[in-house]
């Protein structure tokens, strides 16, 4: 099958993409230690996957130590981290690509071991997630009950996001994506399973959406709205999430984002709501792109369980303007070229997704490398 719609140009803000195949934000837990610093291996990984006029979105990057939830995830708050990100952005730009850094605060999904001086993880309310989390030393332990953010702390939190957006600019990125999905802090404020507040950041949909929108406004004050994207996961259940009226909630949020003129909306389809946990895709889940397409007037990126055929169909039907690929971009550094040629894809090795070294990271072969291998090698 050919994919003509995947290779049409697309305008996002003031950026002109040459195709519609986006690299999704993919947590890989391979930053240099100590300090959670992107390094040469990360620059090589992203550079391998960059294409002229193609958009890559970075792995989630914590805006502050208290926002970290996984060992060896990169940050965007120290001078050493910014220097590391400059290696990455330079590698992507040398290949002609665009690079957005995803800004992340995990909220209640964190653990005290990542920030012992700050104490318990923070959240909108003291609601402990079901299940287990990881510590700074890669141990698996039960979640802690988070500390509710005090109303007086919220302005500084928003300022921390603004500073992170500024740091991304200093690091040479082309824009930022606000991580409002997958049960992390901003999503915890949005959904009523996790937000039990009674102040102006809780209760009504308008109040629960307030923090996300104020963070978007803060990032837009640095970049302009056209260089800001937002990722959401309507109907997502990852990290013990849920809302009593998700359609009404996310319709309101998405209309507010549309009115702000942000560069793109990045929607995770609920068929893959368990994120990267390896659960089978739920093809009976609601279609987020269909439900919310009319509420957003800008570029919409779909994500979650897409193949080349599904991506082409979604764009042809107008349900998405671009599609973000995750696992297939991990195992196929030249995914764009393989889809262009409708060539076979390398299978991915899930055991190498998180942590480790070059194995399963920068050693997947390209088509050209495979063709140059001796027969039987």
Q: Catalytic amino acids?
A: 184
Q: Kindly give, in sequence order, each residue whose CB lies less than 8 Å from that of residue 330, ignoring residues fewer than 6 positions away.
A: 26, 348, 353, 360, 364
**HSE-CB for 204 with a 13 A CA cutoff:** 6
Among candidates 161, 70, 79, 158, which has minimal Cα distance to 121?
70
232 and 303 in contact (C-beta within 8 Å)?
Answer: no
Separation CA 362–CA 355 (nearest Å): 13
Three-state secondary structure call for residue 281: coil
Listed in order, strand segments (DSSP E) in the chain are 10-12, 15-17, 21-23, 55-62, 98-104, 122-123, 132-134, 140-142, 147-148, 175-179, 228-232, 264-268, 299-303, 322-325
Identify whether 34 is preceded by a cis peptide bond (ω within 30 of 0): yes
Q: Kindly give, in sequence order, each residue whose CB lies less than 8 Å from that of residue 181, ignoring residues fewer than 6 positions away.
A: 187, 231, 232, 233, 236, 266, 268
Residue 331, classified by CB atoms within 10 Å of its CB into exposed (0-12), middle (13-18) or buried (19+), is middle
DSSP code of 191? S
DSSP code of 120? S
């Amino acid at each position: 099958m050919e994919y003509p719609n995947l290779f049409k140009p697309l305008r996002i803000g003031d950026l002109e993409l040459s195709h519609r195949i986006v690299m999704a934000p993919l947590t890989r837990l391979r930053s240099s230690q100590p300090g959670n610093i992107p390094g040469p291996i990360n620059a090589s990984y992203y550079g391998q996957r960059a294409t002229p006029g193609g958009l890559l979105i970075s792995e989630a990057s914590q805006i502050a130590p208290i926002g970290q939830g996984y060992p060896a995830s990169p940050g965007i708050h120290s001078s050493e981290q910014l220097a590391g990100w400059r290696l990455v952005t330079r590698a992507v730009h040398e290949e002609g690509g665009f690079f957005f850094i995803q800004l992340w605060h995990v909220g209640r999904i964190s653990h005290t071991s990542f920030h012992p001086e700050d104490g318990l993880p923070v959240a909108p309310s003291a609601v402990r997630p079901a299940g287990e989390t990881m510590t700074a030393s890669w141990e698996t332990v039960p979640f802690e009950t988070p500390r509710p953010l005090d109303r007086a702390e919220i302005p500084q939190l928003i300022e921390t996001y603004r500073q992170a957006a500024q740091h991304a600019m200093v690091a040479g990125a082309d824009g930022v994506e606000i991580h409002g999905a997958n049960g992390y802090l901003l999503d915890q404020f949005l959904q009523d399973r996790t937000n039990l507040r009674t102040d102006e950041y809780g209760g009504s949909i308008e109040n629960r959406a307030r923090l996300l929108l104020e963070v978007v406004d803060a990032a837009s004050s640095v970049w302009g709205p056209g260089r800001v994207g937002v990722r959401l996961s309507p109907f997502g259940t990852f990290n013990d999430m849920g809302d009593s009226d998700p359609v009404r909630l996310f319709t309101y949020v998405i209309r507010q984002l549309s009115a702000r003129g942000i560069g793109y909306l990045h929607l995770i389809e609920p068929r893959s709501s368990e994120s990267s946990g390896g659960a089978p895709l739920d093809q009976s889940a609601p279609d987020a792109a269909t439900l919310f397409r009319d509420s957003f007037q800008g570029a919409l990126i779909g994500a979650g369980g897409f193949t080349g055929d599904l991506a082409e169909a979604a764009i042809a039907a107008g349900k998405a303007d671009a599609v973000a690929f995750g696992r297939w971009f991990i195992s196929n550094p030249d995914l764009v070229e393989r889809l262009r040629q409708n060539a076979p894809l390398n299978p991915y090795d899930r055991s190498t997704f998180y942590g480790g070294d070059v194995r399963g990271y920068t050693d997947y072969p390209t088509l050209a490398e495979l063709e140059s291998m001796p027969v039987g090698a």
